[in-house]
A and B are shown apart, each in its own frame.
Chain A
Amino acid sequence: DARVTQTPRHKVTEMGQEVTMRCQPILGHNTVFWYRQTMMQGLELLAYFRNRAPLDDSGMPKDRFSAEMPDATLATLKIQPSEPRDSAVYFCASNPGTNYGYTFGSGTRLTVV
């Protein structure tokens, strides 16, 4: 089965450090999403791309978060500097440009101490 691959699966870092999370979408999927999951807020949309162009990043704290798609096989989410409140599970999802093909990765569990 085709799947969305996220790395790393787990990351523990100290406050103030830079964190980079990576996502390999399913080959042929042209829409990529980043979501953050916490107990308090549930699943929040951070940003998404279509054909590598950012369509919406209004859910992302701009001062410390950045999302990019250097090429069609890689999406990155960076936090610099990281803060304890960024601790969450970050999910990447991809979609072939339809309304019924969203596939989620297994997530990156980030802990900032």
Chain B
Amino acid sequence: GEDVEQSLFLSVREGDSSVINCTYTDSSSTYLYWYKQEPGAGLQLLTYIFSNMDMKQDQRLTVLLNKKDKHLSLRIADTQTGDSAIYFCAEIVNSGYALNFGKGTSLLVTP
């Protein structure tokens, strides 16, 4: 199938904002997701956005959705060292149930 595209690496300084970008494939995806994976752990749902929304804010997280360009972004404000992890973008595949993931963006937060 087609790939959900993400940049592989991002490095930011503690306290700065991080922006992780994603291009998804299915314009009919009703929900889009951001997951976080810490070393040796499973995937933790961070947030999701319904396709009729342009923006969703949840504490330090802001999700922006551009349906025309099939572009999704995750902004983390005041990034902390504990935010260092791999972040995955995911879309609902056409079946309506399973998720199609990007390959993940490794975020490194330096002091």
Contacts and interface: CB of A to CB of B under 8 A. Distances in A.
B92 interface: yes
Contacts, number: 48
Interface residues of A, number: 22
A100 B98 contact: no
A45 B99 contact: yes
Interface residues of B, number: 24
A87 B89 CA distance: 24
Is chain B's binding surface mostly helix, strand, loop or mixed?
strand
Contacts of B100: 45
Interface in A44-75: 45, 48, 50, 55-56
Nearest to B43: A104
Interface in B55-111: 88, 92-93, 95-104
A31 interface: yes
Interface of B: 30-31, 33, 35, 40-45, 48, 88, 92-93, 95-104
